[in-house]
Chain A
């Protein structure tokens, strides 16, 4: 079956530093990848949508200079949280849409970011 991996699964960083989260589709090609953010006991909030080779489309209220998204290939997207602050602490989940089965969308296991 289709698998999406995320790395790291858990990261702790200090305020002011940057952290990169990788999202990979392991056995399929993803035309589109999505980044979600989830606060405790809340739903997933879409942050941005990225298409391979194009600039990401950010949802309203999401700072594109703070959350840098790169989708360099059909199997890899990265989210870089720049100049992290404690309020950026959250659970980040990526998702990928299958190139050949557009209605299928697969989710990674998530990355727990803690900014101290």
Chain B
């Protein structure tokens, strides 16, 4: 069975600074990895995914993530944070043919 961990409940950054939201995973096969963002009382919005190919994945709103197989990580990054990036971020993993499992979520706060 697959699992995913987000070691930080909360990440605080200043506007304009780079941000990183961490994610590590565990699967038995080749993983499908995803990042979603959730605003209050809303569903999940897709940011990016890694299925295969280039380890650096670029997604929506200037976010990117790097798949690191040796460290089993898929950290979400953005070079310059915006106040509007403040939200709840979920990393998810899916083993091929299996269900998607979510991390506990990381609350990102970007301060002006």
Contacts and interface: CB of A to CB of B under 8 A. Distances in A.
Interface of A: 4, 6, 34, 41-44, 46, 49, 91, 93, 95, 103, 105-110, 112
Size category of the binding interface on chain B: 20 to 34
A103 B94 contact: yes
B44 A93 contact: yes
B43 A108 contact: yes
20 contacts: A4-B43, A6-B43, A34-B99, A34-B100, A42-B105, A43-B102, A43-B104, A43-B105, A46-B101, A49-B99, A91-B41, A95-B100, A105-B94, A105-B100, A106-B46, A107-B44, A108-B43, A109-B43, A110-B41, A110-B43
Contacts of A42: 104-105
B57 to A, nearest CB: 13
Contacts, number: 44
Given A4-B43, A42-B105, 13 more contacts: A34-B99, A34-B100, A41-B107, A44-B90, A44-B102, A46-B99, A46-B101, A91-B41, A103-B94, A105-B100, A107-B46, A109-B42, A112-B41
Contacts of B44: 44, 93, 107
B22 interface: no
A95 B99 CA distance: 11
Contacts of A4: 43
Contacts of B51: 103
Nearest to A36: B102
Nearest to B104: A43
